[in-house]
Structure 1
């Protein structure tokens, strides 16, 4: 599972600075009837096990669009963005290529993404389509998504006599249940939520605040809402969830704790469903609780059409088929290859009945309130590291929450110039 908020391409700004000289002026709508056209598609989404699934979709597209051939290049995720930047700088980028939400803004601002015209955005979940719009214009199409929900161990809840989480829960409800479910002496913890940037930006949204100002030029998280969000995360450590000294934050500690039946609630992504398929206890999921409002982290892959393509019309036709066709939906659901981004939930009925967790509807209910990671371009990774570092200082007691956020504000504002 590729989680968009976790990774930003290395050196995006430096590479894209060369792009417009390599691609400028080459865009052409191509042959409108599609006769004799070959379009190229560079991707990472099918690597490591889904190559045949992608080919099934391409075969169906070519069967419906005589005269258009799709030439596919598949790369490992670890290599993909470096290669993409090189291709963009050299003017050799594919007609259609994969991107992630975290680096969408950098690509769009540099002019390498073609405007997608007359797209039926109603085919997609609203929040997913809107994630790839700038000033009302569509520049990419979501190809798949995943999100974060609240996992819970029903057996532990039953043993403690605590009611299961519902879609109406707030932070206060979660905190109360977490305390009732924690038995530190027995190694049983009520809650687990990583104290990191990725949980913090979401918690700020849940508290009703913003990480950045509307124009993206300054930090906005050093606010009453941002402080409340940091206190919410930091305040769990040693109370309802383990401290770093007890293992919190080490690789796979949280998943191991949940699988062992020692964790009652767990904030994590739906990509963990497969890992939990053979657990010995009963578990389910719910929409994550909020404070002023609900806001769930959403991770998304997308496809874009190169502004330098000579076959923009055919490329867009393929991009739409790849992201919204019935063939794509069937292939993704049958293979378990991430979730299709479509709005028609009747087409997703088979997903809702695939077994544990029982409340798979919470996956889609979570999309009613989405918190997208703020994107600042080339300095994205550094911003994320700064906020995580300062939260770590507050968790360790070396700084107060207020001191940590003030320091983070100063450091991040320096990145923003």
Structure 2
């Protein structure tokens, strides 16, 4: 028996040493011009050989934290902007509101003055080549990734080579890491998440003498409430954003539909079950023209905030626009047809495997996933932090919505687009063509026939035009 550390943990120990010393320098434990512990002492502390300690110290030299003085030791450099490490952070602009991102980055800069964060906004819903081009052109080190982008990176054979393998973090909801895991390896750390839910104006329900929605509501219940809420009033009872791949696929999930594929990988669109699902979904939406016009998902929330609609299908992310509205609103589980199912939206963080500042990127990632930062997300937004302890924090006394913690009760209903056995590209193409069906200008069979006729074999996907 020996206490010699395993070779498989060597790189982890060296990375831990680099991160710990960088943090100690940035937070002032080691002052300017102060010497770090000797190489022997550091080797004993982190169970590393002298060669490995020197390699780790060389990394800190490259990052501008220290300089090596022969026969003296490693000295902490003064705080000079020229010595700072630059980490380029590609982010979805929506996270400024949905995760208090600017506030978090300000806190990080104060904590780690040796690291300069360059913020680079990224497209949220466009196809992966745009994100790939941004990562390459801007040399992004840390990037926000949603499930659709993750899948598209896989489709383009850029993943997992594009992202640094990661270790799961204790305390993060385990159901969030599963979709970001490929061949047993995690490549994206979940940051924030949200299920799709029903949001409703409580005052409107009281005025109409209606009971508030609950977990037993079906789409038929929504239809009946819609008639009462909109009768004789200058508002819509219910608004559903049909023109969104985060909305109409709900009908397919709840009906248990899965796409079948041809031997060459092409999806089969001409499917009687799919036609029934689409026709059912259209039937649930009372005013399909109004619902179809909501091509911008934020429009639904704006109309809701102005009390021009009583019920909307939305997410915790989108409800951030309602935080300061003063409305008396609440949420309930998504109504269902055959089965109670809803879509789960997750935004995570990934490190560019080929980035120039991977260690600084990891420091920023760890900070954004820390208890401190995740609690800040919880306190300043309605988005749900990925860290369970932060998400379940109940310090808010007068919170809107009152049923914020409802997500805990509906975890078994969470599903992903991938559960439909369809790629994001296929769903985007469907979304483009279904406009004619939602407006009743074409029947479902005609639309699906055209999709099937124009679908390219899987081997030609990269050359196929894409529709947003």
Interval containing the TM-score (normalised by the shorter chain): 0.7 to 0.9
Q: Which residue of 2 aligns with 1:42?
A: 89
Aligned match of 2:168: 119
CA contact under 8 A between 2:214 and 2:333: conserved in structure 1? yes
Give the Cα separation in 1 of the matches to 2:407 and 2:395.
14
CA distance in structure 2 between the partners assigned to 1:189 and 1:335 by the alignment? 30
**Structure 2 CA distance for aligned equivalents of residues 416 and 180 of structure 1:** 52
Counterpart of 2:67 in structure 1 is: none
Q: Which residue of 2 aligns with 1:371?
A: 415
| Structure 2 unaligned blocks of 5 or more | 1-10, 19-56, 64-84, 461-468
**Runs of 5+ unmatched residues, structure 1:** 1-27, 64-68
Q: Taking structure 1 as reference, are residues 52 and 272 closer, same or farther at Cα in structure 2, changes over 3 Å only?
A: closer
Aligned counterpart in structure 1 of residue 146 of structure 2, from 100, 109, 124: 100
The answer to whether structure 1 residue 192 and structure 2 residue 230 are counterparts is: no
Distance 1:159 1:140, change over 3 A: same
Superposed CA RMSD: 4.0
Contact 2:334 2:341 in 1 (8 A): yes
- Alignment match, 1:66: none
Largest Rg, 1 or 2: 2
For the residues of structure 2 that align with 1:214 and 1:340, how far apart are their CA atoms? 40
Cα distance, 1:360 vs structure 2:
0.9
| CA positional deviation for 1:288 | 0.7
Alignment of 1:174 onto 2:218: no
Asked if structure 2 preserves the Cα contact closer than 8 Å seen for 1:207 and 1:228, the reply is no
Change (3 A) 1:95 1:261: closer
Call closer, same or farther: CA 1:347–1:235 in 2, change over 3 Å.
closer
- Residues in 2 aligned to 1:214 and 1:58: alpha-carbon distance in whole angstroms: 52
State yes or no: 1:287 paired with 2:324: no
Match runs of 1:338-417 below 5 Å: 338-344=383-389, 347-350=392-395, 353-374=397-418, 380=424, 383-412=426-455, 417=460
Deviation at 1:145, TM superposition (A): 2.3
Give the Å deviation of 1:287.
1.4
> 1:314-340, CA deviations, whole angstroms, 9 ceiling, x for partnerless residues?
468536623531111222223328432
Cα offsets for 1:167-217 (capped at 9, x unmatched): 23233333333344342x544433211222331222211211125659993
1:99-138 deviation digits (Å, cap 9, x = unpaired): 232211343542111222x423x42223321121112210
SS in 1 for 2:331: strand
Q: 1:280 to 1:88 in 2, by over 3 A?
A: closer
CA distance change for structure 1 residues 414 and 263 in 2, over 3 Å: closer, same or farther? farther
Match of 2:278 among 226, 230, 246: 230
Change (3 A) 1:409 1:82: closer
SS, match of residue 268 in structure 1: strand
Given candidates 74, 81, 85, the residue that maps to 2:119 is 74
Per the alignment, residue 85 of structure 1 pairs with 132
Report what 2:378 is aligned to: 333
Corresponding residue for residue 102 of structure 2: 51
Task: Give 2:346's aligned residue.
Answer: 300
Higher relative contact order (CA 8 A, sep 6+): 1
Q: How many residue pairs align between the two structures?
A: 372
TM-score by length of 1: 0.73
Deviation, 1:247, is 8.1
Deviation of residue 276 (structure 1)? Answer: 3.1
CA–CA separation in structure 2 for the residues paired with 1:354 and 1:171:
30
Contact 2:259 2:268 in 1 (8 A): yes
Residues 130-180 of structure 1, C-alpha deviation per residue, up to 9 Å, x if partnerless? 121112210111122234210112233233333211123233333333344
Aligned CA distance change for structure 1 residues 396 and 84 (closer, same or farther; 3 Å): closer
SS in 2 for 1:273: helix
Deviations 1:393-417 (A, max 9, x none): 1222222223333333444455775
d(CA) in 1 for partners of 2:394, 2:194:
17
C-alpha separation in 2, matches of 1:87 and 1:393: 33
- Provide the rounded CA distance (Å) in 2 between the counterparts of 1:280 and 1:302: 30
- Measured against aligned partners, the alpha-carbon deviations of 1:347-389 in whole angstroms (never above 9, x if no partner) come to 43236x452211112344454433333499xx956x4443224
> Structure 1 residues 225, 188: CA separation in 2 closer, same or farther (over 3 Å shift)?
farther
Query: What TM-score does the superposition give when structure 2 sets the normalisation length?
Result: 0.66
